[in-house]
Structure 1
Amino acid sequence: MSEDEKPADKPPERRRMVKLPTGGTAAGRSMGAKMKTADDKSMSSQQWIKRQLSDKWSVRARAEGYRSRAAFKLIGIDDRFKLIRKGSRVIDLGAAPGGWVQVALARGAASVVGVDLLMIEPIPGAILLQADFTHPGVDQEMLELLGGAPDLVLSDMAHNTVGHRQTDHLKIIALIEIAADFAIRTLKPGGHFVTKNFQGGDGGGVLARLREEFETVKYVKPEASRKDSAEVFLVAMNKR
């Protein structure tokens, strides 16, 4: 429904807990388009484009049909911990452009629901929502579309940084808390949870809570994560 078609008495849109990203596309960043406009970009942007084009994981993603290099982060995690089983039900929070959804399906998941503030181009076999999953009712909608409680909840969510270290840190922790709360509330017993974090980031009570709710909790840095990035992933296994 377009904006002009909305009923006049519809209540105002709820304030989002996560700001809608201002860049990117539903199918991921287009290298060709970026190269065409590279002359108009800053030097740092051009260096980023060059790195993306030469990065082996980006090259592999394009060659193997994955929408982003991030697919290999989940592949690395799953190779180690065997989280995705044949017939699994999987929910992917912050799913755009869809690389993790593709991996879940390729590894045998029977039902996959992805949600993001950005529109995600369709992926056969998956249900993809453009929504803020923190809005009331969206979590229940995802569970209904999934067909039951998930076996695995994934979160590769990120926020728009503001450049203030303490503020950005608090936003990171807030996303982890929201995703962890959702996973704890909805996962089947024995289910697993994976979320992005950053080295040196104090998770506050999140880590302690995960250790109470899951048998095993580990920090992991997949091979596909850039060496100069502080990015790590929290892997919580076997929900009690």
Structure 2
Amino acid sequence: MAIKTRVKTAKGRKLSSTRWLHRHLNDKYVQETNKDGYRSRSAYKLIEIDNKFELLQAGQKIIDLGASPGGWSQVAAQKGANVVAIDMKPVNMINGVEYIKCNIINELKILKEKFKDQKFDVILSDMAPESCGLKSLDHIRIMLLCEATLSLAKHFLNHGGKFVVKILQGESDKDFFNELKKMFKKVKYFKPKSSRSESTEMYLVSLDFTGSRSSME
């Protein structure tokens, strides 16, 4: 049985922050990261997605968007994939992973110039904006990120490729789901067990990219 860590209140720390810290320190996935050597608990989300949908294979070319601190890149690299980790924040070196500092919303042109006509087998996005605490606004902000990731996927994804993107459920995710359905043969909602139950976080897993370059430019 795991021994729970008690978190004492501290001067200047809100009660809500103390509760969050207590939950975080006693989260079994946080504890597993220390044992397994992953950089974030989100690594287990990708492991679950991969176990369900068989995303990752040796030799694939993969883009990991919003990669910092590198948990998803670690999982993909361990599968033998060639990973490009993209984030505005730094990602410390991981074997088999190339890091590019880039804001995909404002700097997509940089990636187009760097990769030119290269194509990728899988594009992953665990990106989310900093939460403002207002669910409706957080939803709108993450859906804007989703649209940016899809724009990148349209340009770089191989025919038959796979695309995974995090959403927060709300009034716009169905429209995005329907947009994906026009470009992929299979699109599924998936909530990993490692996602916190109280979170509206979900993943849209899209398989077998069929979109043509002419219809996307």
Shorter-chain TM-score tier: 0.7 to 0.9
- 64, 73, 88: which one aligns with 2:36: 64
Q: Which amino acid aligns with 1:176?
A: C
SS at match of 1:67: coil
* Greater Cα shift, 37-46 or 95-104: 37-46
Question: Is 1:222 equivalent to 2:192 in the alignment?
Answer: yes
* Partner AA of 2:41 in structure 1: R
- C-alpha change, 1:141 and 1:58, in structure 2 (3 Å) is farther
Distance 1:94 1:37 in 2: 33
**1:206 to partner: Cα distance:** 2.2
Alignment of 1:134-153 (within 5 A): 134=105, 135-140=107-112, 143=115, 148-153=118-123
Superposition deviation, residue 233 in structure 1: 0.3
1:213 and 2:183 are equivalent in the alignment: yes
Shift of 1:166: 3.7
Q: Once the two structures are superposed, what CA deviation does each residue of 1:45-96 show, in whole Å capped at 9, x if it has no partner?
A: 1221111111111111111000000000000000010011110111011111
Identity %: 38
Gaps of 5+ in 1: 1-34
- Between the aligned partners of 1:39 and 1:107, the Cα distance in structure 2 is 45
The answer to whether 1:116 aligns with 2:101 is no
Residue 45 of structure 2 corresponds to which residue in structure 1?
73
One-letter amino acid of the counterpart of residue 192, structure 1 = K
Number of residue pairs matched? 203
Per the TM alignment, residue 204 of structure 1 is displaced from its structure 2 partner at its CA by 5.7
Please provide the CA RMSD for this pair: 2.1
1:11-64 per-position Cα deviation (integer Å, ceiling 9, x unaligned): xxxxxxxxxxxxxxxxxxxxxxxx899554222112211111111111111110
| CA deviation after TM superposition for structure 1 residue 184, in Å | 2.1
Q: Is this contact kept in 2: 1:180–1:206, CA < 8 A?
A: no
The letter of the residue matching 2:92 is E
Matched, 1:190 2:157: no
**Which ranges in structure 2 are unaligned for 5 or more consecutive residues?**
1-6, 211-217
For residues 16-165 of structure 1, the aligned pairs below 5 Å read: 39-109=11-81, 111-134=82-105, 135-140=107-112, 143=115, 148-165=118-135
Task: Report if the CA contact (8 A) 2:39-2:71 is conserved.
Answer: yes
Contact 1:151 1:192 in 2 (8 A): yes
Letter in 2 for 1:187: L
Q: Could you tell me whether the CA contact under 8 Å between 1:155 and 1:196 is conserved in 2?
A: yes
Instruction: Give the secondary-structure state (helix, strand or coil) at the position aligned to 1:127.
Output: strand
The 8 Å contact of residues 113 and 142 in structure 1, kept in 2 or not, is answered as no
User: For residue 32 of structure 1, what is the aligned residue in structure 2?
Assistant: none
| 2:141 corresponds to 1:171 | yes
Measured against aligned partners, the alpha-carbon deviations of 1:146-183 in whole angstroms (never above 9, x if no partner) come to: x9311000011111233444433221211111111211
Of Structure 1 and Structure 2, which has the larger fraction of its residues in strand? 2
Larger deviation, residues 171-180 vs 192-201 = 192-201
Cα 1:142–1:98 shift into 2, 3 Å: farther
Distance, in Å, in 2 between the alignment partners of 1:141 and 1:37 is: 51
SS in 1 for 2:120: coil
Question: Would the alpha carbon gap of residues 229 and 167 (structure 1) be closer, same or farther in structure 2, given more than 3 Å must change?
Answer: closer
* Alignment CA distance shift 1:164-1:228 (3 Å): closer
- The residue type paired with residue 199 of structure 1 is Q
